[in-house]
A and B are shown apart, each in its own frame.
Chain A
Amino acid sequence: MFAVVKSATVLGVDGFLVDVEVDLARGLPGFEIVGLPGVAVRESRQRVRAALKNSGYGFPLKRLTVNLAPSDLRKAGSAFDLAIALGILAADGILEATKVQDVLLVGELSLDGSVRGVPGVLPMIIAAAGRGISRALVPADNEREAALVPDVHTSIISSLQEAITTLESGGQGRRPRPVNYSMEPAEETDLQDVKGQSSAKRALEIAAAGGHNLLLLGPPGCGKTMLARCLPGILPPLSLDESIEVARIYSVASQGSTPLRISRSRPFRSPHHSSTIAGMIGGGSWPRPGEVTLAHRGVLFLDEAGEFRRSVLDVLRQPLEDGVVSLVRHGYSVAYPSRCQLVMAANPCPCGFLGSNTKECHCSSQEIAAYRRRLSGPLLDRIDLQVWMGPLEKTDYLEPGEPSALARERVLRAWESMKSLNGAPLPMTKEAVTVLESAIERFGLSARVVAKVQRVAGTIAALHDSDCVGLEHMAEALSYRLSL
């Protein structure tokens, strides 16, 4: 009259195994779930009862207690439904207990007995693999995630009945189809559609090759947004491990029933400027990943950066530096990865025409100062490439641009050569050292800025196929820092 089956829950981007213990006792009939269940878990009683009935199994008229162990870990979501239902059948002797133990069971039940997808299946299977569990049943909606972990023999199911027959037969069940990684970038803008702006395009290429942060400043309509949207098209691809890292985040953030996009191209996120702090770095009493985490290993693009609330921009400082966001909640903390590249586009002043030679700027100096202050010093400190984009000249419109494919080739070559160095910096020539030293003296650069300038100079040297950082590379790197 007792059975225990395995399920899992998610905290942050990590899965945790949960033992679902089911006890059936005589006495007044009842159904109770203990072990810090959230609201959705408690409601699973109604779903399990109906799903069992509608799959042709009676609901036992006994006193039913379900314990979710470890009982001090909070459980949320509907992923335990399948495990609870199968645990009841095992405790009632309808299903052989040896056939369900040590099988990871994940899925939400609908009232008619079909199984729906849930968020976080990928980290759950990874956690199971880490604990030596070799068999899993997951919803067909989460097929792609199941295919990513070869260590666990996973079957996909679309109904409670299918789960039972798969377990009883002891056979393969339905195996997930292998995943084909999509290579297409999320955004389909080509560099040749952006007219003029050759110096900004050059900075974009450097940013893509070295993963540097970038600020594009200029009047409205000069192509800032379009240029930024070209970035995904010229970025180097994710490694296999990185793409699984990214898929893990999207698995946790997904709605569960939409199939996960598993891609080798880097994520590109552009949150609206009305975003809140919780939306940016993650939050909620039951934390969800924010935009910095969704942009992990990819690009976080803030269009109209000057319109963001200053507090929202400032919370980005620590995640950008550390590559991780730690959120502390009552009784536990979660860490979300946030290693992303920041790209910002902004107008130079509220009206946007400061520094333009075609239109006059009507902003007062106070307005301009207030506008600029939103991009605080410490944040600008972290932006390696700061580029001014002027209005277009007549001739720019006719000049044929270079397509993204060519730029991507150069970026890939530089990226590969830097990867082969394993993070070791390129040696600097004497002249480069002299220029850097004089810049430190004249502009009082902080230690962080110096380190970042050196990294940018290294990227520029790699783009030029050079084996050391020369004077021209260092000078160009310094110019991106000091031009504004």
Chain B
Amino acid sequence: MNLRQVGAHYEELAAKYLEKKGYQILAKQYRCHRGEIDLVAAHGEYIVFVEVKGRRTNRFGTPAEAVDWRKQRRLYMTARHFLWVNRLHDALCRFDVVAIYTKGPDRHCIQHVVGAFG
């Protein structure tokens, strides 16, 4: 698997996990000139923007830590674009991070950080 395929694999896992928790997936890999959002979901009255991070080890910091200020800024701008395009100016919004640790073939541990920043 190349890097992009790895990323798509993790996003697939995260989408399945969120759907099981009752989230409705609105978009996958939403892109605009500002950047990209891995998943956009609806949860209750919230629009949730999800950044998916996968890791095999914690050696380089936890996945949640890897969403730095610059990445946050990019997600924020992309989210604004999404809200604008879909005419959702008055929505309640949230940014979540879903971290996925690979423990072995088909064995994962998923950590969901609700309202990670914003």
Which residues of A does B touch, CB under 8 Å? 26-30, 61-62
Contacts and interface: CB of A to CB of B under 8 A. Distances in A.
Contacts of A29: 93-95, 115, 118
Contacts of A30: 118
A28 B115 contact: no
A28 B95 CA distance: 9
Contacts of B46: 61
B118 A27 contact: no
Contacts of A28: 76, 79-80, 83, 93, 118
Contacts of B3: none
A66 to B, nearest CB: 16
Interface string B87-101: 001111111000000
Contacts of B92: 26, 61-62
22 contacts: A26-B90, A26-B91, A26-B92, A27-B90, A27-B91, A27-B93, A28-B76, A28-B80, A28-B83, A28-B93, A28-B118, A29-B94, A29-B95, A29-B115, A29-B118, A30-B118, A61-B46, A61-B93, A61-B94, A61-B115, A61-B118, A62-B92
Interface string B11-36: 00000000000000000000000000
A20 B82 CA distance: 33
Interface in B95-110: 95
Interface of B: 46, 76, 79-80, 83, 89-95, 115, 118
A61 B95 CA distance: 9
Given A27-B83, A28-B76, A61-B93, 18 more contacts: A26-B90, A27-B89, A27-B90, A27-B91, A27-B93, A28-B80, A28-B83, A28-B93, A29-B93, A29-B95, A29-B115, A29-B118, A30-B118, A61-B92, A61-B94, A61-B115, A61-B118, A62-B92
Most B CB within 10 A of own CB, among A26, A28, A29, A61: A28
A28 B115 CA distance: 12
Top 3 nearest A-B pairs by Cβ distance?
A: A29-B118, A26-B90, A28-B93
Contacts of B91: 26-27
A465 B83 CA distance: 87
Q: Tell me if A's interface is mostly helix, strand, loop or mixed.
A: loop
A477 to B, nearest CB: 71
Nearest to B93: A28
B85 to A, nearest CB: 14
A61 B83 CA distance: 16
A311 B115 CA distance: 58
A75 to B, nearest CB: 25
A93 B62 CA distance: 35
B55 to A, nearest CB: 26
Contacts of A27: 83, 89-91, 93
Contacts of A61: 46, 92-94, 115, 118
A30 B77 CA distance: 12
Most A CB within 10 A of own CB, among B83, B90, B94, B118: B118
Contacts of B115: 29, 61
Contacts of B95: 29
Nearest to B89: A27
A131 B80 CA distance: 43
Contacts of B79: 28
A61 B43 CA distance: 14
Nearest to B77: A28
Most A CB within 10 A of own CB, among B76, B92, B94: B92
A28 B77 CA distance: 10
B15 to A, nearest CB: 22
A26 B83 CA distance: 12
Nearest to A25: B90
A26 B79 CA distance: 14
Contacts of A62: 92
A61 B118 CA distance: 8
